[in-house]
Amino acid sequence: MYVRVSNSGGRKYLRLVEAYRDERGKVRQRHIAQLGRLDQLDTAQVDGLIESLRRFGGKVESSEPDSGEVEFERARELGPTWLLTELWETLGLGDLIRRSLRSSRRSFDVEAAVRLMVFNRLCDPESKLGLLRWLEGVVVPGIEAEAITHQHLLRAMDALMERRETIRKGLSVRLLPLIDRELSVVFYDLTTIRIHGEGEVEGDLRRYGRSKELAGPARQCVLGLIQSADGLPLDFELFEGNVAEVTTLTPMLERTLKRYPITRVIVVADRGLLSLDNIAEVEQLDLGKGRSLEYILAVPAARYRDFTPLIDGLSFAETRESVREDELDGRRVVVAHCPERAAEQSARRRKKLDELIALGDALANKLDAQDAGKTERGRRASDRGAYTRFARAVYEAQFSRFITPELESERFAFSVDEQAVTRAEALDGKLVLLSNVGDLAAEDIVERYKALADIERGFRVLKSDIEIAPVYHYKPDRIRAHGMICFLALLLHRVMRRRLRQNNSPFSVERALEKLRAIQLHRVRVERRRLRGLTKMSAEQLDLLRALQVPKPAADAV
């Protein structure tokens, strides 16, 4: 038997052929097996077939000269990509992408390109060119790294946007088994995503707004994210960077309500999303089917002073956490008090206050000594200079309501408003919530809000681990595609986190991925034999894979 190349339909195929003699002794050939199109053959698979045939025949001959040396190829990381591939297929994401992006116009594997971009966000976030460098040191099951180019990645992003609604709908079907069928509480929040680039394009998402990351103006877009009560991301959207936050709420919720069996919507929002100024507008939102929006809103600390008369009328336990409730303008006001937190906040404020007072006294003493004829080395001090330095320190500490430098005084002086300090201490340790939910106890409302802190970790994961920002794309659809890739990465992160918690694993997702990095694929040529194998897995790594409900990798499966 031997292999030969045959032509069919303008393409070349590699076939396994057997030579034999017919009844009249004439030499004939018959087709045994077709190995595939010549331009699409995976060389690694062909090498594996050759080695298998050699082992079956008990021979280890090689066409390569016997150098008598041992050659090692670079070990390539497998653990994290094996884990992510198993999760990707288990959740049905691979099938969803393949079906949604199927097209005869593309000569490359779009699903593979999308999968690589998602995995890279979790393993080692890089630019698209950086991703290709990352591929040089890893093995991704089912993907031939050398076949992926930079243009393939960009075209895959464009394909995602062409079929984004199909993908969104398919994704909701696959997420349904993972969420509570009686889903009633969703968490919605916004964050800003910094974007580089100048100029303007049609439909530009890049707008100047107040960046939460830089605490100042920046060119950005805004990401809205809806998550279930246990932190599973359900939907996302990207908005222009200067969008009014409350206007993003209705379209996001309407779309989510159509795709998930949500019987009631209680939006738990942090201080930045909803505000006391637009709460009336929020209460008028109509979600259809007689559903109105219910909310639990945290009052910004800067607005606590508006609630001082109400809080002063409530009594709290001095040694344990306590929750009290009152009403303001027909809305429930729930106040939680934590004595330990109150003591910490008061002590921190008093320490900073003492530091500023010490600075003011030192400046005043220096001026007094100078007036008494005592000179020091350096430039002569002035009352105006002392005022400027002290006022800047007070401003940077945000203590202007407690300390007032006296501008009109002929000599440098300042005053401390002890009553303002006392009023601030009365609000320490307080959490003030505004809500229109009528059937939850005050303690339950506080617990619902505190759960938001866990949900907000999703944004921290997006920004710190997945590194959604800064974005260097300028086309709106490419920016949206980047958002979808990061959303899929967050989904995988949350599923891993859920499985680790369910199985009482001590590992976080980040530590789990780091621990699995040590599982590598090794290739070596010993004399005339080519061998491959995996790093021996530790008991800890095997326990980790069991907790994540993923089988251990095998060298012949890669």
DSSP classification of residue 551? P
What separation, in Å, do the N-terminal and C-terminal C-alpha atoms of the chain show? 28
**Across 354-364, average pLDDT:** 94
Segment 460-474, tens digit of pLDDT: 788 888 888 888 888
26-34 CB contacts, 8 Å cutoff, 24+ apart: 32/1
**How does DSSP classify residue 304?**
G
Count of alpha carbons within 13 Å of 58, Cβ hemisphere only? Answer: 0
> What is the DSSP secondary structure assignment for residue 396, as one 8-state letter?
H
pTM: 0.73
Q: How far apart are CA 122 and CA 465, in angstroms?
A: 7
Question: Which residue is associated with the tokens 């910094």?
Answer: 194
**Which neighbouring-strand residues pair with 534?**
521
Do the Cβ atoms of 321 and 337 come closer than 8 Å?
yes
Instruction: Express each pLDDT in 395-404 by its tens digit.
Output: 999 999 999 9
Model confidence at 11, pLDDT cuts 50, 70, 90, reads confident
Q: Are 381 and 370 in contact (CB under 8 A)?
A: yes
In the predicted model, is pLDDT for residue 126 greater than 60?
yes
pLDDT range class, residue 138, cuts 50, 70, 90: very high
pLDDT in tens, 168-197: 999 999 998 887 655 567 777 778 888 887
Provide the 10 A C-beta neighbour count for residue 425: 15
pLDDT value of position 275: 60
pLDDT in tens, 238-280: 998 888 777 787 788 778 888 887 777 777 776 555 566 667 7
- H/E stretch holding 228: strand 216-228
The pLDDT value given to residue 261 = 74
Smallest Cα–Cα separation from 323: which of 418, 141, 450, 210? 450
428-478: pLDDT as tens digits: 999 999 898 888 899 999 988 887 766 666 777 888 888 888 888 888 999
List, for residues 367-420, the tens digit of each pLDDT value. Answer: 888 888 777 766 778 888 999 999 999 999 999 999 999 888 888 999 999 999
Backbone CA torsion sign across 439, 443, 444, 448: positive
> Hey, is 113 helix, strand or coil?
helix
Q: Count the Cβ atoms, other than its own, within 10 Å of residue 12.
A: 11
Let me know: does 535 contact 499? Beta carbons within 8 Å.
Answer: no
Residues 6+ apart with CB under 8 A from 343: 428, 429
529, 60 Cβ separation under 8 angstroms? yes
Residues in the chain, total: 558
Phi, psi at 197, each rounded to 5°: 120, 150
Instruction: Say how far apart CA 358 and CA 337 lie, in whole Å.
Output: 32
